Every structure is written in C-alpha cells, then in structure tokens.
Amino acid sequence: MTTLILNVDRDNDFGEKAGIKGPLVGYSQCYNAAVKLISTDPEDSDSNALFGALKHYELLQSKGEDVDIAMVTGDDDVGPKSDEVISSQLDLIIQPGKYKNVILISDGAEDDYILPLILSRAPIRYIKHIIVRHNQNIESLYYYIVRGMQDKKLVKKVAIPLGLILLTYGIAALGFALAFTVNGNNIGNSSFYAFILVIVVIGAYFMEKGFDIAENMVLLSNKLREYSEQARIMFISTIVSLGIFFVGIASTYPIFYTTDPVLDKILLFLQQFSIWAYASVGSRGVFKLMDIYVAGSEKSISVYYAIAFSISAETILYGLLGYLRYSLNYMNFNYSLVSIGLILSGLVVVIITAGIRRKKSSVETVSAGENEGA
C-alpha cells in the first residue's frame, strides 16, 4: 500500500499570502504552491516546510517506496475553526484503505495539534520538522522584533498581554502619583512622570498592534461614510436627534439651581426635559417621513400612527407631572386645570387614533377576504 507524505499549513499562510486553497495532491501541485509562496514571501517557513516534504518524497521514491504527497491548509483563525477546515480536507485525501500510513512534515510543533485528526484516519509512520537555518548576520534583536510585530499570531499571543500589563501598570502608577501630588505628597520628580508616561505609550502601542485599532478605526470611518452616502437624511436625523437631546439637558439643568424644594426640582426637571426628549425622538419620525418622500417609497400609515401615539404619550406625561406638582402643593389650582386638560386631550388622541387604526384594519381584512373569495 501507499505511504502519504502530508504537509500541514494550519494557519493558512498559503491562502492568505499566495491565494492557494487546499487540499493539494500530487508533486506538481505542491511544487507550484511552494514556489508561489516563497516568491511572495521568501521568509515564510511554510514554503520551506513544503519544499522539505517534496525532497522527502523524492528521497523515498528513489528508494523504491510507493509514496504520494499532499498538503492541507487551515484558517488564519488558528484553533477549532482551522482544525475543522483541515478535517474536511483530510476526508477528501485520506479515504478508508487508501494509505497504509502517513508521514507528517511541518515547520513546527504547532501543527502537531492536528495529530488526532490524522490518527483517526490513518496511522502515522513518523513526524519530521523542517527547521530553517538563518544567516547569523541578520539575527539581531531589531530584526526579530520587526518581523515579530508583523506576525499576527505572535502579536496576539505576546503583544496584547504585554501591552495590557504595561498600560495597566502605567495608568495605575500615574493615577496614584497624581493623587498623591494633589494631596501635597510629592512621590517623585519630573523624570518619574516621564518614565510612567513612556510605559503608558509603549503599552498603548502594543495594544494598538494587537487589536489593529488604527485599521478598525479606518474601517469604521469608511462604513460611516458609506452609510451617510446611502442614507443621508436618516444619518443627519441621528445627529439632529442627539443635538436636541443634549441641548435639552443643558437647558433644563439650571432648574436645580432656581427651584425649591428638591422634589419640586426633580419633577419640574422631568416635566421640562420630557419636551426635549420627545422633540429628540420626534425629529427622527419627521426625518423618516422626509426620507420616505425623497426616496419615493411606499408611504406607510404606521408612521403617522406612531407620531400620533407619541404626541399623546408626551401630552399625558407632561400633564401627569404637572398635576403631581399641584397635588404636592407646589402649584396653584389653575395650573392643575391645565394639567388635567392635557391629560384628557392626550387620552382623546389615543382613543381616536386607536379607533381609526382598528377600523382601517377591519376594512383591509374584509377587502382581503373578498379578494380571496373572488
């Protein structure tokens, strides 16, 4: 029976860098893939591992052994996802009874995690790791740091924990130092603060590299720009709504400095701010109607129902808060009449709107039934 020489690219460098999708079976396919990857990234160890598998294939074939060669690729999300992809590719290559054993050739111990996947399909004859020898002249600390920061796997495993430690330590130390300084206890000179600031900056740099914050911010900016181009009116409505909301807070907050007692301050603030809150939410509905009109979409009657119900809700809430202030003897009797009038008018709007909606729904149901009968 035949022996399979299997090369594994668990993190899918062939797919990410050279656009090669596994599985690859046969000498020519594997050779072309190795040449393409090493041409794209001469420093990638996966191409060297595949060349090592090809050399081992030639060696065993020269000894008269019946051998095949294949390569499987995983996913850049190393773990369950990549191993699931590898498992599906192994099913295509290692069919029951086709191979008597497998020789696994890889570039490191990380690929050994898939041993159970291989053993469940065929026995493993042995494992061979291809270790790349580097030129001593380039084995400098700077070189390895630069190359390491370009390796996503290494960044996630090292940079994020290191950055988190440095950033947490720096922020905590800076916070304690500032707190002691404010209290009159000088715990260090300017060089101490400079050192802590450097720690924070280095930690922030590692965190940015680990989470790709700059790249994600660019993607978020592009998505916001696309959204604003596709739905200009609704995008503007969000800005207007937030603006009205914060203006409402700024306009009603001085009530706490001009009114007594405290409970009346709270009730009056809620009463006045409810108008701004409704204006903030209501502006979205107005812009929604404008968007429907500009886009030429089918006008939905539900939008008008929503506006009517929201107006009545705001009227009732405003009236209830006003009547509550009268009940607590903060306002006179005439103000209570105004509050009761607002509550009643809000209820009337709710009843009329609900009646119109129910009647319209009944008419639509009857019409639909008549159409089905016809």
Q: Where are the domains of the chain?
A: 2-133, 138-217
Ranges 18-22, 247-251, 334-338, most confident: 18-22
pTM exceeds 0.85 for this model: no
Confidence band for 284, pLDDT divided at 50, 70 and 90: confident
290 class by beta-carbon count within 10 Å (0-12 exposed, 13-18 middle, 19+ buried): middle
**How far is C-alpha 107 from the geometric centre of its chain's CA atoms?**
32
Residue 136 pLDDT > 50, yes or no?
no
What is the structure's pLDDT at 142?
46
Residue 227 pLDDT class (50, 70, 90 cuts): low
Average of per-residue pLDDT across 180-196:
69
Instruction: Look at the block and give the residue holding tokens 């107005």.
Output: 286
pLDDT computed for residue 251 by the predictor: 82
Q: How confident is the model at residue 139 (pLDDT cuts 50, 70, 90)?
A: very low
Most confident of 119-133, 203-217, 223-237, 287-301: 119-133
pLDDT at 32 over 90: yes
Q: List pLDDT tens digits, range 63-75.
A: 999 999 999 999 8
Tokens at 221, concatenated: 């900016």
pLDDT digits (tens, 9 = 90+) for 296-335: 555 556 667 777 778 888 888 888 888 888 888 888 888 8
Instruction: Quote the mean pLDDT of the chain.
Output: 80
Yes or no: say if 71 and 50 are a contact pair by the CB < 8 Å rule: yes
Q: What is the mean pLDDT of residues 205-219?
A: 80
